[in-house]
């Protein structure tokens, strides 16, 4: 289990990961502990508020990085993930969790997919959630007729416009697509619910075709148009340019749906917002067709970096981990180790240079504050990359009195041992305690490596003897 996830103060359940929760740490170098934000390194008087380089620039008048809505599609796109099978109970649990987190919309699988999909859609509509409930259909009157009877707040209509999909999927030309889109949109609108029209495979579609159909549906009063990077081929610049062009052509909201085949989905979503998109599709852990779409957690991390207060005010951030665990369990995968926010070591700092600065001011090496996500920061100590400042913080936590010179001497021994194997937290603690008592008793002085080795050996033998006695009892 990840030390960041077990909630204990000291993580010792992985030998190679020697981490310590420094949240209750006393003053270090004259400044507050790691959770207390300081006025700068080593207590300097630099101003606390620094300009956030990730914040939107005032000159970007289209920028919606601090003004967006999430359309959470775990229960639609996510159901297209290879491992996904959501029974009704699981769908309801996911829907409620996402609603409590604060997403603005939930998108559900087409009720035309199966009888159970239709029944589940109705059941979720009846939950009385704060989030608006949408369902996702083909651009076809048969699907639209079923969808509007489920009780949804809106219908997301999609049809492929690229030559690939026109030729090999539905086989329809742009004239047919436009005519059917108008019919379906007018029908859904006549039921008094929201309607969105999206072109599938937008980035491999002809720009003139795209702008023409978006303009047509905007004129007849669609609530949103959607751009879909169905195959994950787009890059941030292309996304920016297409959304910005579209922003100049339609007055309605703009949604983007971005696949992650080349790892661009979060960056693309960010650029879409910069260019004026209003809604971003996500799924928990990014699950969906192939490698899925923009992950909810990663998007939240990225947008929090731009404007923490805005993101904190909209979403219940400490719920993120629970939601990811719920979905991970439902689809039988692990949360990836490098997942933003909730990954195995998202808030663990290791190298001595990092540890020192983090202890003085966490913002030196953190753009996300773990406490805003209900998580804890760790500093890893028992390895060859450690430094005396990290060791000093542990000495203070243990309540030991050692001079800086003595701590540097003890650190040299930790590094020597860690060159052979990573030291567990217990190993580091014992060494520090033995070092301390050696100094107290006068058996040890700084630099007396042989004396220290003798004390460590004696301790090892005593521990072994104790273990043997315990085994006999």
Ligand X SMILES: O=C(O)CCC(=O)C(=O)O
Expressed in angstroms, the distance from the first to the final Cα of the chain is 32
Give whichever of 209 and 409 is closer to ligand ACO, judged by the CB atom.
Answer: 209
Q: Name the nearest CA neighbour of 232 among 284, 289, 271.
A: 289
What is the DSSP secondary structure assignment for residue 85, as one 8-state letter? -
Question: Interface residues with ligand X (CB under 6 A)?
Answer: 77, 136, 156, 158, 198, 200, 226, 228, 230, 257, 259
140 belongs to the binding site for ligand ACO (CB under 6 A): yes
Candidate residues 6, 39, 48, 169; the one interacting with ligand ACO per rule CB under 6 A: 169
Of the listed pieces 1-9, 36-44, 157-165, 271-279, which binds ligand ACO according to CB under 6 A?
A: 157-165
Q: Name the nearest CA neighbour of 94 among 82, 109, 113.
A: 109
- Coil, helix or strand for 80? helix
Task: With CB under 5 A as the rule, give the number of residues binding Zn ion.
Answer: 1
Give whichever of 202 and 230 is closer to ligand ACO, judged by the CB atom.
Answer: 230
- Our separate counts of H helices and E strands in the chain read 16, 12
Q: Cα(77)–Cα(69) distance, rounded to whole angstroms?
A: 17
**Per-residue string for binding with ligand ACO, 190-229, x by CB under 6 A?**
----------x-----------------------------
Asked whether 239 and 257 are in contact (CB, 8 A), the reply is no
Q: Cα(57)–Cα(78) distance, rounded to whole angstroms?
A: 33
Q: What are phi and psi of 259, to 5 degrees?
A: -80, 160
Where residue 363 falls (left for φ over 0; alpha for ψ -120 to 50; beta otherwise) is: alpha
Candidate residues 158, 301, 390, 395; the one interacting with ligand ACO per rule CB under 6 A: 158
113 belongs to the binding site for ligand ACO (CB under 6 A): yes
Give whichever of 17 and 159 is closer to ligand ACO, judged by the CB atom.
Answer: 159
Asked whether 12 and 19 are in contact (CB, 8 A), the reply is no
**Per-residue string for binding with Zn ion, 69-88, x by CB under 5 A?**
--------x-----------
Residue 371 interaction partner, one of ligand ACO, ligand X, Zn ion, none, beta carbon < 5-8 Å per kind: none
Give whichever of 233 and 333 is closer to ligand X, judged by the CB atom.
Answer: 233
Residue 198 interaction partner, one of ligand ACO, ligand X, Zn ion, none, beta carbon < 5-8 Å per kind: ligand X
Give whichever of 224 and 377 is closer to ligand X, judged by the CB atom.
Answer: 224
- How far CA 386 is from CA of 10, 75, 390, in Å, comes to 17, 45, 7
Residue 138 interaction partner, one of ligand X, ligand ACO, Zn ion, none, beta carbon < 5-8 Å per kind: ligand ACO
Write the DSSP assignment of 92-159 as a string of letters. HHHHHHHHHHT-SEEEE--TTS-HHHHHHHHHHHTT--SSEEEEEEES-HHHHHHHHTTT-SEEEEEE
Least distance to ligand X from the beta carbon of 160, Å? 8
Give whichever of 144 and 414 is closer to ligand ACO, judged by the CB atom.
Answer: 144
**By the criterion CB under 6 A, which residues form the site for ligand ACO?**
80, 110, 112-113, 138-140, 158-160, 169-170, 200, 230, 289
**By the criterion CB under 5 A, which residues form the site for Zn ion?**
77
């Amino acid at each position: 289990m990840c030390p960041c996830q077990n909630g204990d103060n000291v993580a010792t359940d992985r030998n190679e990961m020697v981490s310590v929760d420094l949240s209750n740490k006393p003053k270090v170098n004259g400044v507050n502990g790691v959770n207390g934000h300081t006025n700068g390194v080593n207590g300097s008087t630099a101003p606390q508020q620094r300009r956030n380089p990730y914040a939107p620039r005032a000159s970007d008048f289209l920028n919606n990085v601090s003004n967006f809505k999430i359309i959470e599609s775990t229960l639609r796109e996510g159901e297209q993930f290879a491992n996904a099978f959501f029974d009704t109970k699981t769908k309801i649990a996911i829907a409620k969790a996402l609603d409590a987190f604060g997403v603005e919309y939930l998108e559900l699988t087409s009720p035309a997919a199966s009888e159970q999909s239709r029944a589940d859609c109705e059941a979720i509509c009846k939950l009385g959630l704060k989030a608006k409930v949408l369902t996702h259909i083909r651009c076809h009157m048969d699907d639209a007729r079923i969808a509007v009877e489920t009780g949804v707040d809106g219908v997301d209509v999609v049809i492929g416009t690229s030559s690939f999909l026109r030729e090999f999927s539905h086989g329809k030309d742009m004239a047919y697509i436009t005519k059917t889109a108008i019919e379906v949109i007018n029908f859904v609108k006549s039921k008094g619910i929201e309607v969105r029209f999206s072109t599938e495979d937008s980035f491999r579609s002809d720009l003139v075709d795209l702008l023409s159909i978006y303009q047509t549906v905007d004129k007849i009063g669609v609530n949103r148009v959607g751009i879909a990077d169905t195959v994950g081929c787009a890059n941030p610049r292309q996304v920016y340019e297409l959304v910005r062009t579209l922003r100049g052509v339609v007055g309605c909201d703009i949604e983007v749906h971005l696949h992650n085949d080349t790892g661009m989905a979060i960056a693309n979503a960010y650029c879409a917002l910069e260019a004026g998109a209003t809604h971003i599709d996500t799924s928990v852990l990014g699950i969906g067709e192939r490698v899925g779409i923009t992950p909810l957690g990663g998007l939240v991390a990225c947008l929090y970096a731009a404007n923490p207060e805005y993101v904190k005010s909209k979403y219940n951030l400490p719920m993120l981990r629970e939601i990811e665990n719920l979905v991970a369990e439902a689809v039988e995968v692990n949360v990836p180790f490098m997942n933003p926010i909730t990954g195995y070591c998202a808030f663990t700092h290791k190298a001595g240079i990092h540890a020192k600065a983090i202890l003085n001011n966490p913002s030196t090496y953190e753009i996300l504050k773990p406490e805003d996500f209900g998580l804890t920061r760790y500093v890893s100590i028992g390895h060859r990359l450690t430094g005396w400042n990290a060791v000093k913080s542990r000495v203070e936590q243990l309540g030991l009195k050692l001079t800086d010179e003595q701590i540097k001497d003890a650190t040299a021994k930790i590094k020597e041992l860690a060159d052979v194997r990573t030291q567990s937290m217990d190993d580091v603690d014992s060494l520090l305690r033995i070092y301390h008592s050696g100094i107290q008793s006068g058996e040890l002085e700084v630099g007396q490596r042989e004396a220290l080795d003798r004390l460590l050996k004696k301790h090892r033998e005593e521990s072994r003897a104790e273990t043997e006695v315990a085994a006999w009892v």
